[in-house]
Structure 1
């Protein structure tokens, strides 16, 4: 059954224009076609072909093959003005879908489990509407970006010049968000999402018999002490006014219950909002690893990767998005002003280059069972959000000066 704007009694969508409401059935069709054919980062060939076909059909100028599969469409308004970019990511995840729906993923082991199929659909709907209604100032560049889930497509697209010719003055993007009910908007000035960094280290000890520990250097013991001590970084080294997370997600060691393991490998992630901590965690974590290994006579191999910086919104653009949210969504709880997550996003790289705003658009509907979290094998969202997203972007374009 195709979702309609009347499907969720908790959201009043009367302020969404009729021309966009009339697109809803088509938006749902596009989204479901994309959902059936998920692709991993930098391999989004079918997705790119789908987008290109639509842009050609609507005679919208565009460039393809940017950072392998990225696309940029350009739409000029009827009046001169500044250049606004809209960004939509388009990759999927290596997850086996467990939803029993007619539009279930047809690619084994792959799934749009984060809503990027919805992001592409909203961007396409926005492109179509703007191409038919050019009564706005300036130019809009719609950026269809590959590989947000990894290894990251924003930076190579920027390096390829997507923010140039014409030069972009500001950028916006949204994330369909199942952590908020349908229609609720999360937007804030400053840090919205966290920096993403990872660490990977191997402790090299000396193996031996579990009954003769004095002949060994126990890598499990060393690793356990490191795990405990890493938690002191946030508790005792980070300003308590700031938020940060150090998580050890993997600890691999040993082959038998009566053998002291010669080595142990640990992997984890670091998240923080405040840019002042860039470079700090890498140094502090290695200090702890080195110190504890030395104390026990072990050695180590250490690797640290900086993936994405924090997503930091510009105050003026965030205010613009917030003001539109307050008029589009008629609900006393429609806008969450201080919404944050320790999740990361490479939209951060665009926001380092030009002022902009990334925001969350609530898509969960518990009455329909559409409230599983992102990256879950049963993730799905209320498709009512598609038309709402188009309305948001169109109004941002019409308001941006």
Structure 2
């Protein structure tokens, strides 16, 4: 007996949740808790991938493993339909020590599923079971279990490994749970839905010396302090107030003693935007402001500024479709018309650059924030979200008229 073959629960089925998914929700939750106990970092998700592949194979999917490193793709084809739908879940965890007090807490020191990727995987697996055993569709379903979302490299690695050539889709959809949004509710965003992110490492190089004789030194701490302040002008004075940009200095390190001026101060930054042109402006101005401000104090700013990943930009037709499916299945009250874009980032952006699709937000209820050691994924989100994926697949993969 597999986890998803347990008998039904004796509970009322919430609106929009498919009865077959509700009947085995305890099994889906058990899978989630198992994944939560065994978190794995980016490209180390070997146990997670093996468990996913095992379940998909049991349910009749054709399974490919090792896609983009540790990715898994499950394919289910029915009928003669030519339409092809992709659904994606991320599977990696974070280097965070859990402090949520769960009975099924992480068994790996310093690692936890602090972003709910264990929940996203359980959602897609619950939908996978339903579609394999009860799904009414005509076409090809591609279920993509992606590694390394947290590092921003998993999606691009799968694409480089021929994801869409080997497992073609006409549209791709993904989701993310969101704390503060009621469970069973869904948020849809047209256009930019999540921000781009670029990470910068900045070195302010001066000339060290004795703290009692600063005139013989070039103080990189003083220069770095002014750089941090000056960087706060980048958004306010270079970006249209109607647009979004964020520049955050997340760390600053320099010096070891109170009476010693160091040679170097190191800073790390993140830079975020919705629009590509704003992103380019921020990248240019961050470098210019840092370099010129440091130079004003006789120091030198060296910056490493590789591109991270772009903003998540939902395609209008695919977003309208999944919103319509949600309204039909769950009612207007559970579809949040005023859901705003988020300034966090997601490497699903690369998938949306390659194929049309949409990224959906799923309510996680009243929980601690994402990436918090006290964050808890809400198991009550699994059945509604899995039902949305199942409904979307059955709606999208229909026999087309001749």
> Shorter-chain TM-score: what band?
over 0.9
Distance in structure 1 (CA, Å) of the matches to 2:319 and 2:205: 49
Structure 1 unmatched runs, 5+: none
Tell me the alpha carbon deviations over residues 184-231 of structure 1, each in whole angstroms, 9 at most, x when there is no partner.
Answer: 211111011000101111111112233322211111111111111111
- Residue 82 of structure 2 corresponds to 81
Cα contact 2:84–2:139 (8 A) shared by 1: yes
- Residue 131 of structure 1 corresponds to 132
Q: How does 1:121-160 map to 2 (within 5 A)?
A: 121-160=122-161
| Paired residue secondary structure (1:306) | coil
Cα contact 1:79–1:135 (8 A) shared by 2: no
After TM superposition, give the deviation of residue 260 of structure 1 in Å. 2.5
After TM superposition, give the deviation of residue 166 of structure 1 in Å. 4.8
Cα contact 2:184–2:334 (8 A) shared by 1: no
| Paired residue secondary structure (1:228) | helix
Deviates more, 1:24-33 or 1:275-284: 275-284
Q: How does 1:2-401 map to 2 (within 5 A)?
A: 13-330=14-331, 332=333, 334-364=335-365, 366=366, 371-400=367-396
Distance in structure 2 (CA, Å) of the matches to 1:185 and 1:97: 27
Cα contact 1:245–1:272 (8 A) shared by 2: yes
| Paired residue secondary structure (2:180) | strand
Distance in structure 1 (CA, Å) of the matches to 2:338 and 2:322: 11
Cα contact 2:271–2:283 (8 A) shared by 1: no
Distance 1:300 1:14, change over 3 A: closer
Distance in structure 2 (CA, Å) of the matches to 1:279 and 1:334: 34
Tell me the alpha carbon deviations over residues 316-341 of structure 1, each in whole angstroms, 9 at most, x when there is no partner.
Answer: 11111212222333463641444211
Structure 1 consecutive aligned stretches of length 4 or more whose deviation exceeds 4 Å: 2-7
After TM superposition, give the deviation of residue 296 of structure 1 in Å. 1.9
Cα contact 1:75–1:127 (8 A) shared by 2: no
After TM superposition, give the deviation of residue 5 of structure 1 in Å. 9.8
Distance in structure 1 (CA, Å) of the matches to 2:100 and 2:342: 26
Deviates more, 1:270-279 or 1:208-217: 208-217
Distance in structure 2 (CA, Å) of the matches to 1:106 and 1:287: 46
After TM superposition, give the deviation of residue 134 of structure 1 in Å. 4.1
TM-score by length of 2: 0.92
TM-score by length of 1: 0.93
Cα contact 2:15–2:330 (8 A) shared by 1: no
Distance in structure 2 (CA, Å) of the matches to 1:100 and 1:80: 48
Cα contact 2:245–2:278 (8 A) shared by 1: no
Computed over aligned residues only, the root mean square deviation of the Cα atoms, in angstroms, reads: 2.0
Cα contact 1:361–1:389 (8 A) shared by 2: yes
Deviates more, 1:288-297 or 1:118-127: 288-297
Distance in structure 2 (CA, Å) of the matches to 1:279 and 1:17: 45
Cα contact 2:323–2:335 (8 A) shared by 1: no
Distance in structure 2 (CA, Å) of the matches to 1:255 and 1:295: 24
Deviates more, 1:20-29 or 1:39-48: 20-29
Distance 1:182 1:6, change over 3 A: farther
Structure 2 unmatched runs, 5+: 1-5, 398-402
Count of residues in correspondence between the two structures: 391
Cα contact 1:322–1:335 (8 A) shared by 2: no
Distance in structure 2 (CA, Å) of the matches to 1:188 and 1:26: 31
| Paired residue secondary structure (2:31) | helix
Distance in structure 2 (CA, Å) of the matches to 1:129 and 1:179: 28
Distance in structure 1 (CA, Å) of the matches to 2:111 and 2:276: 34
Cα contact 2:16–2:384 (8 A) shared by 1: no
After TM superposition, give the deviation of residue 81 of structure 1 in Å. 3.3
